[in-house]
């Protein structure tokens, strides 16, 4: 199937061709026609599925066909949780609208608002925004949302996780009642369903499993290891395996900094990316990682969300997320575009309950192993061995480490 059959205009087909896409991805095949028919759409799709083009292409087509006003009031609003994601969506919008007379703009926090206010004054057809900065600029009367025809909530689950529910509600109150709504989410919790029910009218549900559904292309593995020895183990895995591009997840910003520093000390180029880093530092780290000058990107969930990192061979969970859905998001970064990938989780004794939650969500048991020399020896918080001795310890007898033993018999 080619893009020609989806009902897109020549100008869009030219832009798609220029991007080098030949076949629409499953989410594009399913979402583009109903969006063009002006239906509300609820889409289950995560990053890596081509979802951005899935909503951007039809949105551009609708706007290019509609009536154009000289002042260019904002007609489409794409809300997304993070700055990086907003910037990426804007890159897509700009590329796909190259041959159309439509103006787009991105606004997000953490950078000077003045150029954004100036840009808005010139008139924009499509606005890509993070919720906080949007409300901020609205309260400064830099923009009106009263003319929105299409609303896209991208990564809606993450927006709720990040505490944007109230901001979303405020934004919804500023929009005209009559509008088309598109909601994209990787996971569907009760809260997301509630949000969707409040926003969408008789939505069409489209679902696209990522081309790399966990069961097929991502090789998932657990390495059981004591918390204190995780840095040592990950450095060994990266060095021994000669991994060139690894995305590592930590639970905290501090943890990300610490681990990245340790890697650098061991001669592995690494950078940390998290909410306390400036926008410039984040962009630089991501750029270096994509180019290959940075081998390891250590990230927190929020910072990594939505990053467009193609073909990632290795994802490591240095620590497991306490929200099981985040595990799915994290490992969705590997094995993209049909390539196979490896997702490794370093699991300490304290994290066993998280693994249970993750396995329940996945509906499968994950294989676990122990790396020789890294056998877990802790079975209570006050029995931590010194780093020195750990190498020489034998694993504890089975009944001292019940959770892991149960797992290792799988
Ligand atoms: P997304 O899920 O929107 O973040 O897209 C993931 C990646 O797939 C991006 O690098 C897109 O440029 C790329 N992409 C989107 N649609 C297609 C397509 N039909 N064919 C090939 N690549 C695509």
What pLDDT shows up at residue 66?
Answer: 75
Ligand 1 lined by 53 (C-beta under 6 Å):
yes
Task: Report pLDDT digits (tens) over 338-382.
Answer: 556 889 999 999 999 999 989 988 888 899 999 999 999 865 444
How far are the Cα atoms of 150, 181, 199 from residue 175, in angstroms, in the given order?
10, 11, 11
* pTM for this entry: 0.64
Q: Other CB atoms closer than 10 Å to residue 91's CB: what's the count? A: 14
Indicate the DSSP class of residue 396: P
Of all atoms in ligand 1, which is nearest to the CA of residue 21? 20
Which of 254-258, 314-318, 406-410 has the least mean pLDDT? 406-410
What pLDDT shows up at residue 351?
Answer: 94
Is the pLDDT at 159 greater than 80? The verdict is yes
Report the C-alpha gap between 395 and 227 in whole angstroms: 15
Of all atoms in ligand 1, which is nearest to the CA of residue 306? 4
Ligand 1 lined by 188 (C-beta under 6 Å):
no
Of all atoms in ligand 1, which is nearest to the CA of residue 48? 2
Q: Separation of 275 CA from ligand 1 center, angstroms? A: 26
What pLDDT shows up at residue 397?
Answer: 36
Is the pLDDT at 106 greater than 80? The verdict is yes
Is the pLDDT at 248 greater than 80? The verdict is yes
What pLDDT shows up at residue 152?
Answer: 98
Helix residue ranges, H only, 174-229? 190-199, 214-217
| 310 — pLDDT class (breaks 50, 70, 90) | low
Report the C-alpha gap between 20 and 26 in whole angstroms: 17
Backbone angles phi, psi at 19, to 5 degrees: -70, -20
Report the C-alpha gap between 129 and 269 in whole angstroms: 32
With contact defined as beta carbons under 8 Å apart, do 57 and 96 qualify?
Answer: yes
Of all atoms in ligand 1, which is nearest to the CA of residue 45? 2
Q: Separation of 28 CA from ligand 1 center, angstroms? A: 10
Indicate the DSSP class of residue 79: E
CA angle 216, 81, 185 (to 5 degrees): 40
| 221 — pLDDT class (breaks 50, 70, 90) | very high
Ligand 1 lined by 24 (C-beta under 6 Å):
yes
Mean of the per-residue pLDDT values of the chain: 85
Ligand 1 lined by 115 (C-beta under 6 Å):
no
Q: What are the tokens at 131?
A: 């919720």
Indicate the DSSP class of residue 221: E
Residue nearest to atom 20 of ligand 1 (CA): 21
Task: Report pLDDT digits (tens) over 59-95.
Answer: 999 999 977 777 889 999 999 998 889 999 999 999 9
With contact defined as beta carbons under 8 Å apart, do 60 and 150 qualify?
Answer: no
Report the C-alpha gap between 362 and 202 in whole angstroms: 29
Task: Report pLDDT digits (tens) over 11-56.
Answer: 999 999 999 999 999 899 999 999 999 999 999 887 778 899 999 9
| Candidate of 25, 154, 309 to mutate for ligand 1, largest count of ligand atoms within 8 Å of Cβ | 25
């Amino acid at each position: 199937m080619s893009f020609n059959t989806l009902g897109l205009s020549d100008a869009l087909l030219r832009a798609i061709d220029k991007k080098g896409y030949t076949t629409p991805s499953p989410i594009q095949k399913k979402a583009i026609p109903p969006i063009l028919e002006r239906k509300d759409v609820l889409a289950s799709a995560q990053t890596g599925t081509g979802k951005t083009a899935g909503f951007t292409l039809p949105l551009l087509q609708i706007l290019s066909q509609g009536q154009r006003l000289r002042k260019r009031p904002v007609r489409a609003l794409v809300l997304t949780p993070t700055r990086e994601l907003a910037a990426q969506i804007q890159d897509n919008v700009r590329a796909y609208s190259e041959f159309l007379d439509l103006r787009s703009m991105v606004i997000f926090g953490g950078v000077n608002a003045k150029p954004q206010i100036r840009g808005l004054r010139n008139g924009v057809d499509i606005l890509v925004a993070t919720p906080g900065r949007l409300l901020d600029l609205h309260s400064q009367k830099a923009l009106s949302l009263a003319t929105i025809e299409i609303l896209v909530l991208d990564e809606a689950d993450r927006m709720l996780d990040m505490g944007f529910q109230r901001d979303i509600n405020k934004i919804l109150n500023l929009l005209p009642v009559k509008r088309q709504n598109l909601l994209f989410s990787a996971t569907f919790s009760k809260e997301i369903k509630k949000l969707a029910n409040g926003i969408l009218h008789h939505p069409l549900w489209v679902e696209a499993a990522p081309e790399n559904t966990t069961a097929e292309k991502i090789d998932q593995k657990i390495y059981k290891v004591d918390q204190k020895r995780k840095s040592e183990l990950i450095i060994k895995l990266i060095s021994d395996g000669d991994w060139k591009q690894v995305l590592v997840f930590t639970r905290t910003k501090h943890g990300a900094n610490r681990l990245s520093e340790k890697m650098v000390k061991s001669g592995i180029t690494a950078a940390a990316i998290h909410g306390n880093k400036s926008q410039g530092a984040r962009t630089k780290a991501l750029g270096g990682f994509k180019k290959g000058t940075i081998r390891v990107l250590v990230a927190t969930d929020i910072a990594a969300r939505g990053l467009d990192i193609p073909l990632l061979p290795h994802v490591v969970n240095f620590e497991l997320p306490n929200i099981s859905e985040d595990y799915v998001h994290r490992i969705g970064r590997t094995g993209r575009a049909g390539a196979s990938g490896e997702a490794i989780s370093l699991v300490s004794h304290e994290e066993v309950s998280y693994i249970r939650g993750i396995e329940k969500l996945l509906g499968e048991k994950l294989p676990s192993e122990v790396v020789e020399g890294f056998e877990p020896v802790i079975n209570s918080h006050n029995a931590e061995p010194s780093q020195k001795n750990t190498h020489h310890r034998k694993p504890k007898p089975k009944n001292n480490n019940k959770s892991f033993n149960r797992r290792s018999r799988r």
